[in-house]
């Protein structure tokens, strides 16, 4: 691993730093810029990496810079870092939600190799799903670097068409909330049938966890696994027929489309930033 600097020491940065160290990356190759003194001290104690209050000090020798900040703070960051980045030409990786490659190029200057990523919150426990796309200045070696960094928090998939990153955001970026909503609904339905709430929650959560592991570990089509659980004229078939009557696939499709549209709108709002 080459020298990697994080701008922002929040939860997502912490998960990536912890994951990289577990893969054998040397703490001496990592640095982080974090404005909050308490958070900065905690990062230093936990990971043994160099921590700075100023962004320019963290990136001074970095060959890869990872932006782990909210989109709204990009103007403050680019005014401070633009000259350094144009001089050193590091690989720039952004996990800022909704920020397009052309916006990053406008803020930090043309000619930089840039990778845009969309991780999700399960990355915090090493179970993330991240979509990545790159501009045409990112080399094969740099793509491998970016993938190695994000692989530390889960699985990664490259997206060739950047426009589809809004779909990635709607699918895996927002997806954990859909899952939590489903568990809430299952829990509430079971409680309405008379189960104690703690029992209903435990059974719903473990059922979803087990089903997810079966899907990932087996590598089989979800339709095949669904059919195996569904006995003719049984309880599962009755529930699935109710889902079908309520147009579950159309409900999900409309929700993902709505999230995708909102992603496009949010990116457009960022065009107004200086």
> Does 111 lie in the same domain as 40?
yes
Tens of pLDDT along 231-259? 999 999 999 999 999 999 999 999 999 99
User: Where in the sequence is the domain holding 159, given as residue range(s)?
Assistant: 4-163
Q: Are residues 144 and 204 in the same domain?
A: no
114-118 and 4-7: which strand pairing? unpaired
Q: Do 151 and 235 belong to one domain?
A: no
Q: How far from the centroid of its chain's Cα atoms is residue 112's Cα? A: 22
CA-CA distance, 88 to 62, in Å (whole number)?
A: 9
Q: Per the domain annotation, does 249 fall within a domain?
A: yes
Q: Which residues pair with 130 in a beta bridge?
A: 156
User: What are phi and psi for residue 96, nearest 5 degrees?
Assistant: -70, 120
pLDDT at 1: 63
Cβ(156)–Cβ(133) under 8 Å?
no
Rounded to whole angstroms, how far apart are CA atoms 160 and 225? 30
List the structure tokens of 105.
């190029």
Q: Which two tokens stand for residue 126?
A: 């090493």
Give bridge partners of residue 158 from the DSSP assignment. 132
Residue 177 lies in a domain: yes
CB 64 within 8 A of CB 150: no
pTM: 0.92
The predicted structure's pLDDT at residue 274: 78
Q: For the chain, how many helices (H) and strands (E)? A: 12, 8
Band the pLDDT of 6: cuts 50, 70, 90. Answer: very high
DSSP for 109-132 reads -TT--EEEEE--GGGGGT-EEEEE
Tell me which residue of 22, 95, 101, 23 sits closest to 65, measured CA to CA: 95
Is 67 within 8 Å of 96 (Cβ atoms)? yes
Residues 65, 68, 72, 77: what is their CA dihedral angle, to the nearest 10 degrees? -30
Based on the domain organization, do 147 and 260 belong to the same domain? no
Cβ atoms of 28 and 175 within 8 Å: the answer is no
148 and 190, same domain (yes or no) = no
Residue 40 placed within a domain = yes
Residues 141 and 234 reside in one and the same domain: no
pLDDT tens string 201-236: 999 999 999 999 999 999 999 999 999 999 999 999
CATH number at residue 54: 3.40.50.720
pLDDT of 147 reads 97
State how far the Cα of 163 lies from the Cα of 261, in Å rounded to an integer: 11
What is the β-pairing status of strands 128-134 and 4-7? unpaired
Interacting residues of 259 by C-beta distance below 8 A, sequence separation 6+: 169, 170, 174
3-state secondary structure 249-262: HHHHHHHHHHHHHH
Residues 153, 200: one domain?
no
User: C-alpha distances in angstroms, 48 versus 13, 40, 142?
Assistant: 14, 11, 26
Average pLDDT, the chain: 95
Rounded to 5 degrees, φ, ψ at 31 are: -145, 160
Of 118, 136, 163, the residue at which a domain comes to its end is 163
pLDDT at 75: 80
**The pLDDT of residue 35 is above 70:** yes
């Amino acid at each position: 691993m080459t020298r990697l600097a994080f701008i922002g020491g929040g939860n997502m940065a912490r998960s990536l730093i912890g994951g990289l160290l577990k893969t054998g990356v040397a703490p001496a190759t990592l640095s982080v810029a974090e404005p909050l003194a308490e958070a900065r001290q905690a990062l230093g104690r936990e990971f043994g990496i160099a921590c700075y209050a100023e962004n320019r000090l963290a990136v001074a020798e970095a060959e890869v810079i990872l932006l782990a900040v909210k989109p709204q703070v990009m103007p403050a960051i680019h005014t401070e870092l633009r000259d350094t980045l144009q001089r050193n030409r590091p690989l720039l990786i952004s996990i800022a939600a909704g920020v397009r490659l052309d916006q990053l190029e406008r803020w930090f200057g043309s000619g930089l190799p840039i990778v845009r990523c969309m991780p999700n919150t399960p990355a915090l426990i090493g179970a993330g799903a991240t979509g990545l796309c790159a501009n045409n200045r990112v080399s094969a070696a740099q793509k491998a670097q970016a993938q190695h960094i994000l692989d530390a928090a889960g699985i990664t998939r490259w997206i060739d068409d950047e426009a589809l990153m809004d779909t990635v955001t709607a699918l895996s970026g927002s997806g954990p909330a859909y899952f939590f909503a489903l568990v809430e609904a299952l829990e509430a339905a079971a409680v309405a049938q008379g189960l104690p709430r703690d029992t209903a929650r435990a059974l719903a959560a473990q059922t979803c966890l087990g089903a997810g592991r079966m899907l990932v570990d087996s590598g089989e089509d979800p339709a095949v696994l669904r059919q195996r659980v569904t006995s003719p004229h049984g309880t599962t078939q009755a529930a699935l027929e109710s889902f079908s009557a309520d147009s579950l696939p159309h409900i999900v499709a409309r929700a993902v489309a709505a999230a995708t549209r909102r992603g496009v709108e949010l990116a457009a709002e960022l065009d107004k930033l200086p």
